[in-house]
Amino acid sequence: MGSSLRTITIKQDPLEDYMVDDCQLIQSILIDKGFYATLEQCQILWKMHSECYGASWLALYEDKESVYDAIRVYFHEDKALFQG
């Protein structure tokens, strides 16, 4: 094995049109809480939550705090990228 490392990309389902608005809302909720996630990461978070209920994609809860509570268990905090 050589001394150089290569990055990997995880294969995942493409972000479907019906998911974009949901993922943008999830992203906004996370930003309001002080976290940044890509739309693809938001998709993964909501899919993991949905799959717990045997669904491929649940409709988002109307209450933003409930959405946050639902996805919070699926990620951990990394160190801050920016400090101001």
CA 79/CA 32 separation, integer angstroms: 17
User: What pTM was estimated for this model as a whole?
Assistant: 0.79
CA 27/CA 31 separation, integer angstroms: 6
The structural domains of the chain, with segments of one domain joined by +, span 17-72
**pLDDT tens by residue, the chain, 84 residues:** 557 877 667 677 788 888 999 999 999 999 999 999 999 999 999 999 999 999 999 999 999 999 999 999 998 877 665 555
For 39-59, the DSSP string reads HHHHHHHHHHHHHTTT-SSPP
What is the predicted pLDDT for the residue at 8? 65
> In Å, how far are 4, 40, 44, 48, 62 from 53, measured between CA atoms?
42, 20, 15, 9, 17
Count the Cβ atoms, other than its own, within 10 Å of residue 71: 20
